[in-house]
Structure 1
Amino acid sequence: MGWKTLDEMELDGKRVLTRVDINVPVEDGRVTDATRIERIGATVQDILDRGGKPILLAHFGRPKGERRDDMSLQPLIPALEAVMGVKVVFAADCVGSAAKAVIDALEPGQVALLENTRFHAGEEKNDPELAAQMAELGDIYCNDAFSAAHRAHASTEALARLLPSCAGRLMQAELSALESALSAPERPVLAVVGGAKVSTKLDLLGNLVEKVDMLVIGGGMANTFLAAQGIDVGKSLCEHDMAPTALEILEKAKAAGCEIILPSDVVVAREFKAGAENETVAANACPADSMILDAGPESVKTVQAAIERAKTLIWNGPLGAFEIEPFDAATNAAARFAAKRSADSQLISVAGGGDTVAALNKAGAAEDFTYISTAGGAFLEWMEGKTLPGVAALG
């Protein structure tokens, strides 16, 4: 672990520039989902409890270096105050005299929220001059925005190198969970990777086959692997042009001693809609006029058996078209089984990615997973084995 935590910082009387991700959905000027705000609460409270002044730095939307009223952070103040139970004071800029005046006037127990960092073109360019202006406002830098850590921006990378730096509680939890899952995991390690396309997860699959003991491939991706082995998948979603790549991944897995688990039976239908007439057939018996929309019950048993053998599980992507019934059955059954094993302390389970979180929530399994990452791109890049600039800068 090459990064410091809040525990290692002296916070009393210090101005703590805290990079957060509060890029939340807003409708008619009101926050409709405060999950990301709730997740930074522990960090802000810790800084307050130890006599520090939390100064929140955040982006919102994609203003591309222009000041836009519809992308101001000011409308988030009521939601921030409701979650944190403290007064949040707004500064109309994230640098300069306007920000300094607000910070200087902060009273104990108050939080400062600085305006959208992306109103400055230098933010996304990782401009050292902009970072230096931000650094003038604080004594300590705390990054609690793992979801933005894969981007080398002024407020995530350059700024971290100018002040004593540490990870916030959310960042710490995220990094600890991922390190326990991939860097020094309890074995055997099982990865479940699903989704539509192999082409979007090439780096992920290539990295995982050398890190895990078993790899379940599901969703539309599984069709590409089946087709690459000469199996007719009918009208299923399939990247036929990726067949050579799929075969290369299978060879790489074999050389690394990683067991690849593909569906042995599948649920097929002639149309993609909720409640469509369907049947379960062997994976090599998809009718020419049908499409594979889910893994079958025998495949689910195989996945559950793998989960039972595993000590660590990494999950990214559904096993079928989980958005519509009845093609959510395999994802639901496997997710609930993993959740029960996790709840019984028999499995360390880490999951992430947009579709994954939605699928696990839909299955009612998310609460019992050891850790659910909401980081999206950063979660995937970590799993791909890439260096995240925002994390590296904390070292």
Structure 2
Amino acid sequence: MSKTFRTLDDVDVKGKRVLVRVDLNVPMDNGRVTDLTRLERIAPTITELSDKGAKVVLLAHFGRPKGRDAKDSLKPVAAVLADVIKRKVAFADDCIGAAAEQAVAALSPGDILCLENTRFHTEEEKNDSAFVAALAKLGDLWVNDAFSAAHRAHASTEGLGRVLPAYAGRTMQAELDALGKALEAPAKPVIAIVGGAKVSTKLDLLENLVAKVDALVIGGGMANTFLHAQGVNIGKSLAEKDLAPTALRILDKAEAANCAIILPVDATVAYHFQANAPSQAYGLDAIPADGMILDVGPRSIDRVNAAIDDAATLVWNGPLGAFELNPFDKGTVAAARHAAARTKAKKLVSVAGGGDTVAALNHAGVGEDFTYVSTAGGAFLEWMEGKPLPGVEVLRTK
């Protein structure tokens, strides 16, 4: 798969000024970075370029500032990144213009410089050609290592790839390899698990998946909409009842494509949406009128695990129940641990992505055991929906 993309194996970076688009959009609390995952992911690309004698210039956005805003400065993030990679990271107060140009000119081979938030300039998100040119002036080549921003055609995520020689960084390369294994040329049979609250946010995803996978497990609040569409009384459960015709259309599409749809066969029901609310498992024909489905039931868990046993490839996006509330995390945790065990036994290629999904797998203690876990939210979803990602397309070998 990566053969269709230019990578760091295709270029000599010694002495070159390398603009590297990274994801530094980390969670912060009172000026403290609360999760280092994204910084740890980009470390290999940065240190490899530095070791090969490149002048490494990091480009990234932070938050959604409207113009310059001190609270969205990348300066504190650059300091934490220096700790993570155990190297000095210089900082420039702007990403274009005199401040940036002087900082880049001062670099020796192997040095690392982080430029200020690209979104301090409105031209970044407009992919403005003059802004692209001002950034391009600072580098000899461009490396994109931010898959999580690859669904946006911004100046630093796509525009630079049109004016400078463009390469995938190691994180991007790993992501593209993993995604290729999962949906583009997967070992069959392929199963997808799609959960989360709303069908409406995942319509494109479901429509693309039924045409590509052999079995599709639908869980979370989404499953309630499908059950309601099939005439199941779901009590007070969260559901988008107006989407019943859409749900039925997706079921028809799946049947035509020979994709087995796996919906819950029983449910864990409570009367209050809160942690440790008294709950009980019910068959679908007996959901109490004033009850709420908050997780799949024990028979459904067995059914999902059996489907995982039948699969060679698993793609997962979204939890099976209200996993953030104990004990309604049972279904998600059981399936996650089962998939992790199959992966460790070399019986399954497992790829998962999206914010809730990463949190759920970490909660189950198996985030490290899947073949690949993508930290990208929107980009992972658009890729699963079969949409081309601008920041990836621009890296393809012409």
Structures share a fold, TM > 0.5?
A: yes
Q: Which residue of 2 aligns with 1:335?
A: 336
Q: How does 1:102-181 map to 2 (within 5 A)?
A: 102-181=103-182
8 Å Cα contact 1:48-1:54 kept in structure 2: yes
8 Å Cα contact 1:233-1:284 kept in structure 2: no
Q: How much has 1:32 moved relative to structure 2?
A: 2.3
Q: Which residue of 2 aligns with 1:63?
A: 65
8 Å Cα contact 2:54-2:111 kept in structure 1: no
Q: Which residue of 2 aligns with 1:15?
A: 17
Q: Distance in 1 between matches of 2:239 and 2:319?
A: 16
Q: Which residue of 1 aligns with 2:30?
A: 28
Q: Distance in 1 between matches of 2:253 and 2:45?
A: 42
Q: Which runs of 4 or more aligned residues in structure 1 lie more than 6 Å from their structure 2 counterparts after TM superposition?
A: none
- For 1:314, what is the secondary structure of its paired residue? strand
8 Å Cα contact 1:269-1:278 kept in structure 2: yes
State the one-letter code of the partner of 2:300: S
State the one-letter code of the partner of 2:387: K
Q: How much has 1:28 moved relative to structure 2?
A: 3.0
What's the CA shift string for 1:80-102, capped at 9, x where partnerless?
11111111111111112211111
8 Å Cα contact 1:316-1:353 kept in structure 2: yes
Calculate the aligned-residue CA RMSD, in Å.
0.9
User: TM-score when scaled to structure 2?
Assistant: 0.97
What's the CA shift string for 1:266-305, capped at 9, x where partnerless?
1111111111111111123211010111111111111001
Structure 2 residue corresponding to 1:45, chosen from 44, 47, 52:
47
Q: How much has 1:223 moved relative to structure 2?
A: 0.5
Q: Distance in 2 between matches of 1:77 and 1:144?
A: 16
Q: Distance in 2 between matches of 1:26 and 1:335?
A: 28
Q: Distance in 2 between matches of 1:201 and 1:145?
A: 23
Identity rate of aligned residues, in percent? Answer: 63
State the one-letter code of the partner of 2:343: S
Q: How much has 1:109 moved relative to structure 2?
A: 2.9
Extract unaligned runs of 5+ from structure 2. Answer: none
Equivalenced residue count is 394
Q: How much has 1:107 moved relative to structure 2?
A: 2.5
Q: Distance in 2 between matches of 1:367 and 1:90?
A: 32
8 Å Cα contact 2:52-2:110 kept in structure 1: no
Q: Distance in 1 between matches of 2:273 and 2:30?
A: 34
Q: Distance in 2 between matches of 1:206 and 1:41?
A: 36
What's the CA shift string for 1:297-330, capped at 9, x where partnerless?
1111110011001000000011111111111111
Q: Distance in 2 between matches of 1:223 and 1:105?
A: 60
Q: How much has 1:108 moved relative to structure 2?
A: 3.3
User: TM-score when scaled to structure 1?
Assistant: 0.98
Q: Distance in 1 between matches of 2:5 and 2:133?
A: 21
State the one-letter code of the partner of 1:123: E
Q: How does 1:320-331 map to 2 (within 5 A)?
A: 320-331=321-332
Q: Which residue of 2 aligns with 1:257?
A: 258
What's the CA shift string for 1:230-272, capped at 9, x where partnerless?
1110000011100000000000000000000001111111111
